[in-house]
Amino acid sequence: MNTRKRYKRFLVFIKTSPGLKIILFFVGVIFLSSFIVFIIERNRNEGFVSFFDSLWWTIVTISTVGYGDRLPNTIPGRIFAILTIFLGVAMMGTITGRIASMLMERQMKEEKGLMDYKTMSGHFIVCGWKQEMNSVLREILIRNPEHDPSTTILVNRAPVEEINSIRSDPFFKGIHYVHGDFIEEPVLKRAGIRGASKILVMADYHTEGDLQQIDSKTVMAVMSIKNMNKKAYVCAEILDTKFEKYLKISHCDEVLLSREFSRFMLASASSGEGLSHVVKSLLSKHSTARIKTIDFPESLVGKTYEQLLEHFRKNQTLQLVGLLENTGNIMLRKKEALREAQKNPDISKLVPELRNVKTLIANEPIINPPLDYGIKRYTKAIAICGTTFSPSPENAS
């Protein structure tokens, strides 16, 4: 029964694969022609002693190369050779046309955003569209050096003209595009959502409606993405703070409250303290000193913040300002914390530990902790780094 099912599936696969049909037809014609010429010329022609000799002659003739090292001597053999030459010309034309058609079809699909990237893995997906997308996307890729345009997929409903403006920029050469609404599961599947390592969901400029509809779409997208790929690192932008709790419930790893951040900067600027310039300097790629998160040796886990300060003290271009806890995929962090809590034989301590697991916050900053503060797993150091700072492989973030 299993053999019959496999045979039927194989037949269906052949019927639905035009390229495979051509290959099988081409191979079939070669072997049939080789067999016929071998029957005609064997025992009459020294050039056709074995079936391999006739196979060689057929391939050379059909491909129109014509070495002339073997030639049919009999009249039936020469008549069949003429037919084989005409057949070869027709077949090569068909194959060349088919290849050109497939390449054109692929190019048209890429231009329209209809390509399927289900087999990709470890790539970066950017959902949504912004005004001045070229500059926004450039900054995104600069801050993600592990991903170049060839491992980046844009998912949005932007007009072809706007996508072409990005493709025309040499900086984005090789970038991929999937056209469609990023809350739809088939669209996310075409973008290879199951194999992606990082996903950014932006407040979509092309979403019709008010701010609530834009944020609702972002929340729905994050829920779908986390349901399809629990291991990916997902960061999302929302405009209204009341939607933040829904993203946390969805285990979104990083949430950007862009409008709230803008309000903070405006309020800070109005106070005359100059803090908006400080923040800009710390985040700008052109600054002489930038704020970063830095990895440190695992041997420091369980040690104190004072010992961490001592570890980095020799580096004169780096100034620690705090810790970032629960970094990486928050779902994986919670699962691991849950397993550790369940190992505790003391029932009286189990409930509080389980409660702590539930309240874990992804990427929680601890600014200027006390010197005796304990360093936990999955923690990074927050530091202001000078331009001359060049972290070693064990310390680089």
267 part of a folded domain: no
Q: Based on the fold, state whether residues 131 and 231 are members of the same structural domain.
A: yes
Q: What is the mean pLDDT of residues 358-362?
A: 77
Residue 361 has pLDDT above 90, yes or no: no
Domain's final residue, options 231, 261, 291: 261
Do 22 and 65 fall within a single domain? yes
Tens digit of each residue's pLDDT (9 = 90 or more) over 59-103: 888 877 767 777 788 888 888 888 888 888 887 777 777 777 777
393: in domain: no
- Of 200, 229, 261, the residue at which a domain comes to its end is 261
Using a pLDDT cut of 70, give the percent of the chain over it.
87
- Give me the CATH number covering residue 164: 3.40.50.720
Residue 191 included in any domain: yes
Same domain for 314 and 374? Answer: yes
* Parent domain of 63: 2-108
Q: Cβ distance 378 to 326 under 8 Å? A: yes
Mean pLDDT check: name the lowest of 4-18, 30-44, 167-181, 193-207. Answer: 4-18
**Contacts for 136 with CB less than 8 Å, ≥ 6 apart:** 130
pLDDT digits (tens, 9 = 90+) for 226-237: 999 989 999 999
CA distances (Å), 9 to each of 5, 88, 118, 255, in order? Answer: 6, 31, 21, 46
Q: Which two tokens stand for residue 98?
A: 């088919």
Considering the domain architecture, whether residues 182 and 251 belong to the same structural domain is answered as yes
Q: What mean pLDDT comes out for the span 247-252?
A: 88
Q: What is the CATH number of the domain that holds 323?
A: 3.30.70
Q: Please state the domain count of the chain.
A: 3
Mean pLDDT of the residues in the chain: 83
* Cβ–Cβ < 8 Å for 313, 381: no
The 10s digit of each residue's pLDDT in 207-220 is 877 888 999 999 99
Are 254 and 311 part of one and the same domain? no
Same domain? For 217 and 343 the reply is no
Residue 173 located in a structural domain = yes
Cα atoms in the Cβ-side hemisphere of radius 13 Å centred on 156: 24
What does the pLDDT look like over 299-330, one tens digit per residue?
A: 999 999 999 999 888 777 788 999 998 888 88
- Selection from 69-83, 105-119, 265-279, 291-305 with the highest mean pLDDT: 291-305
- Is 36 inside any structural domain? yes
User: 41 and 130: one domain?
Assistant: no
Query: Is there a domain that residue 392 lies in?
Result: no
Q: Read out DSSP for 289-350?
A: EEEEEE---GGGTTSBHHHHHHHHTT-TTEEEEEEEES-S-HHHHHHHHHHHHHT---HHHH
- Residue 27 in contact with residue 53, Cβ under 8 Å? no
Please indicate, yes or no, whether residues 153 and 35 belong to a single structural domain of this protein. no
Same domain for 219 and 181? yes
**Type of residue found at 75:** I
Q: What is the pLDDT of residue 186?
A: 93
